[in-house]
Structure 1
Amino acid sequence: MRHLFRLGTEPRDPARARPATGRAASHITLPLPMLSGGLLIMEAFSKRRTTRRFATTGLDESTLSQLLWAADGIDRIGPDGNNGRTAPSVLALHEIDIYAALACGIYRYDPLHHGLDLVVAADLRGLTGYQEFVGEAPLELVYVANLARMHDIAPSQREPFAYASAGAIMQNVYLFCAAARLAVAARSWLNRSALGVEMHLGRDSVPVLAQTIGHFDFADAHDAG
């Protein structure tokens, strides 16, 4: 188990779903994202970090809007009516769904309408990983591969392609967080079966990666990788 210490943390006991805190709206219409400003791309690369301690301060809707659009939002409408995204996917299948786990519930991001749709009115943040910092931050993103959308891909290749797509989204989030001065940590160590049950996922939907986002705990702001 020595590799766990290289991750900068120890495993914690398996968590359970917690009651939601606050009102869980059935739909959250996010503010329109601002498509200009921020850091130059090379500066964002230079500031990209992983942090494993987070403040509990919530994220405002404007920040959440910018973050989700940067992750995998629609950035163009093609002449054939297909919507381009900020993150690539094989054959433009867009097989990754982004779920936002908040204290008030877990929501699925709808890129077309740039909003959040309630899935479960429970706090599932603590179920999105095993490390001790999971569930402390205001937001946990879970990247779920809908393998049924990948009908043009050989079954043996679907999960590897899905991981590649999720990785591209994850890096978008890292760069946004660098520009917005947010703390962030990514991981693939998930209890996929428990998440699938609690998130009411179909058999073709597989949680592949997760990412914690929040404000820095300034007492530990330099714990980065």
Structure 2
Amino acid sequence: MTTSHIPALQLIAPEALALDAEFAPLSMALFKVLLRRHSSREFSPGELPLYALSRLLWAAFGVNRPQLGLRTAPSASNGQEIDIYVAMHAGLYRFDAQQLALLPVLAEDIRAATGCQDFVATAPINLIYVASLKDDSTRPETEQKFYAALDTGFISQNVYLFCAAEGLATVVRGWVDRPALAQTMGLAPHQHVIAAQSVGYPPSPQG
């Protein structure tokens, strides 16, 4: 991404955030995780600590076989064409799985632009799944978009399962103004917003 794609009034975020490389194993059996998996559109305003965000992003699409550069979710022909952008109060970042870091993109809070539902503006984390399509005559754009949607499904389900195991709330969202969001993010023409996913703590019980 180059700064020429970013609207003039938006600023580059000041610094990258290093993520925690230590991932303690989840203690919950897969059966229980599957029982708890559900969508939630209500979130506590509390922000996720960096450690929790590190584990979340690694589970979503991190490198689980470093010697091969392979990931926790499959992708068509191992294209790894999906980038995860993280929109939060502090700004917009891109997850770099190889460096295990959040790379700065914008210094402003764009959460409200990540979807058409009211809750997205205050959800602590909004993940944006962006596909980088190739100028490949052997695979037409429609086919690339199909596989990008499929690969996004694998990643978003990893997020669902992680959230179920960790007691977090999440919902994947397709109701997104994609052209407007791409412009806000400063995406290049070959980059396409596929979907978004909100993550946070569930609201505290009343009473």
Q: TM-score, normalised by structure 2?
A: 0.89
Against the structure 1 CA distance between its residues 165 and 33, is the aligned structure 2 distance closer, same or farther, given a 3 Å change threshold?
Answer: farther
Shift of 1:219: 4.0
Per-residue deviation, 1:149:
7.5
Matches within 5 A, 1:43-192: 43-78=32-67, 82-148=68-134, 153-192=139-178
Kept in 2: contact 1:129–1:190 (CA 8 A) = yes
Q: Cα distance 1:42–1:75, how it changes in 2: closer, same or farther (>3 A)?
A: same
Alignment-derived partner of residue 5 in structure 2: none
Q: CA deviation at 1:135?
A: 1.6
In 2, the alpha carbon distance for the partners of 1:153 and 1:101 equals 31
CA–CA separation in structure 1 for the residues paired with 2:202 and 2:123: 9
- Deviating above 6 A after TM superposition, structure 1's stretches of 4 or more consecutive aligned residues are none
3-state SS of paired residue (1:70)? helix
| Match among 28, 32, 41 for residue 39 of structure 1 | 28
Aligned to 1:5: none
CA distance in 2: counterparts of 1:196 and 1:73, whole angstroms: 24
Paired residues, what number? 196
Aligned with residue 179 of structure 2, among 182, 193, 199: 193
Q: What is the rounded CA distance, in whole Å, between the counterparts of 2:137 and 2:83 in structure 1?
A: 16
Q: Name structure 2 gaps, 5 residues minimum.
A: 1-9
